[in-house]
Structure 1
Amino acid sequence: MSKLIYLDNAATTKTAPEVLEAMIPYFTEYYGNPSSVYSFAAQNKDVITTQREIIADTLGAQPNEIYFTAGGSEADNWALKAAAEAYEGKGKHIITTKIEHHAILHTAEYLKTRGFEITYLDVDEDGLVNLEELERAIRPDTILISVMFANNEIGTIEPIKEIGEIAKEHDILFHTDAVQAFGQIPIQVDEYHIDMLSASAHKLNGPKGIGFLYIRKGVKIRSFIHGGAQERKRRAGTENVPGIVGLGAAVKRAAATMNARAIKETELRDYLIKRVLEEIPYTRLNGHAVKRLPNNANFSFRFIEGESLLIRLDMAGICGSSGSACTSGSLDPSHVLLAIGLPHEIAHGSLRLTLNEENTKEEMDYVVEQLKEIVQNLRNMSPLYEDFMRKEKK
């Protein structure tokens, strides 16, 4: 098959043509520094304000609650580190989960070196947080709860509204890493009682290197980057005007197409899942069967190794992943799959396929046929599979 089949949209998405078109003039024509006083440059301040309004409207937020960052990882770092610093007088206890993105987990580990205590909540076999366990974890000195909106590997959507209600009831800040969810499913910050939210443009057909952190008005968050007065003195540095314009265009596009995309991607996702589970034995679906992102399918194939599977899929023109792109060089199994209870040997044989609205049923058929052949070939080389089949025949 000559056509490339791209099924790694959780890692990054293709920049949409209309997004690129919106950005180009701000590289070549309207290139002024927004902080300069002359009109040629200062007009870009208005352009930035317009993008804040677009994003805020999507979230049911206020424009002055949107702060631009260099991406989701920076937004996550900012939320945790600055909140910890601002509220440590109240307490030094933070609650998160074992399946967070490493931008959260590694930041939490850093905060432990600064004297903070971190509680990592377990999840069930579908990747869902237990609300009763969350309630039990809350202490008088708890200052922040950070739970991702939807998991980047297995696609499970967390009970964010209920978590937000618990946080509000206990007067605790609530942050959610919505990098995978924003632009995929509707999010309203007031409805979900969200105090801070992280997002990134390149996950929704925008450019890389730009994202934002929503910070509810009244939340005490310190500056993350010191220097100039940009971002209302909370994040110094000359604004990335082309990136901000691209982010705004991507958000506008995502909001306008969200319902249609969700319907198409869910239909294709379920078709793919059904065929894989029915036609490839000793396979399991990871993540919740229903409460999952429209475009996410994550499988574990027993008796094979995920890296070999990815290499052979690549040779067949199919782009997938074994988990987060941020840990693609690691030989360790996914911390997410271990957290949902998979043993190491099964977690190692996992595959994440994440779709976009351009994928087709014909592509899914091709992917399934390739998977069937590749998985069987890899199993035929596995002593574990040979031993298992010998025992099955007895």
Structure 2
Amino acid sequence: MNPHDFLDVDRDLSDEERAIRDTVRDYSAAELLPHVADWYDSGTIPDPRGLAKGFGKLGLLGMHLTGYGCAGTSAVSYGLACRELEAVDSGLRSFVSVQGSLAMTAIHRYGTEEQRQEWLPRMATGEALGCFGLTEPDSGSDPGSMRTRARRDGSDWVLDGTKMWITNGSVADCAVVWAATDEGIRGFLVPTSTPGFTANVVHGKLSLRASITSELVLDGVRLPSDALLPGAEGLKAPLSCLSEARYGIVWGVAGAARDCLVSAVEYAKEREQFGRPIAGFQLTQLKIADMLVDVNHAMLTALRIGRLKDEGLAKHAHISFGKLANVRAAQRVAAKARSVHGANGITLEYPVMRHMMNLETVATYEGTEEVHALTLGRAVTGLDAFR
């Protein structure tokens, strides 16, 4: 039976959804998979603009948005693309997610028509890259405590502060930056060529290495009044964008888990000890069975939340449920798959340790396990335990 999809979850996909799945899967196998181990080993993506343009040709950037050159696909179709990308590497799904679900969504949802026309068509093709500046060195799970400030100076805005762990920050053309003002949290479009804006690449990462991560420094960055995202008022705006990105994670980690399972099954059937393949030993089969259950539960969870999203019924807590459950499942699968591979599992010849390390980042970014657990607790009890 098929370890890729034991419960035949994809049988419930439409013809269009299958076509998108297959297109992204084929592209990933041909253009991404042969290089990703080297990218991970070197700790960077050598040609992020080339990568963006490749994704743009496939229509993956902002694919769930409508107009401005965006594909306008269903939530499930977007999820399937995330699954196939993260089956290669979490950093690649993060690349697409930050561009489309964070930066482009913020502009599409909260920007003016002029801002949309200026940025979205170029971002959809990959000609322009965006990043999303919310997290700070001392402000992760509590974004309301951010120290980045925006003050009025005549008709201009002046921004000062630091953002941390920003994907694509050093290669972006436009940064969506969130700052505290006298009127509350507001969002700004900051062209990265603006004087006073600096992006410093974060080195020494042990996880999500096939991804460019940066620190953003804003030192007296002066912006015209039309840099403000007028529809974004308060924390609800950036958090709504994060919810879009988290939805992609729900699908993405199911892809990472699936890849670990497939690698473990193939390896166990080939690796011989004591005169026979280790796949024939009971303890190995127990690990495989556990992984199989987790992978298929994750795929079912992703599809169900995707269908709810397409019907307009998905709540913030549903996304938290998916991220909490599926990341946990993927981490269990990666750990078991690594043990099946033995010493070989720690090398880049096999994908399992790379996925395992990446999932450590995915578990904490865009909402830690604790934050999502408290979100679920509040949803079913009506009591807020955050403070």
* TM-score normalized with structure 1 length: 0.26
Q: Which has the higher contact order (CA 8 A, sep 6+)?
A: 1
Structure with greater proportional strand content = 2
Bigger Rg over Cα: 1
* TM-score normalized with structure 2 length: 0.26
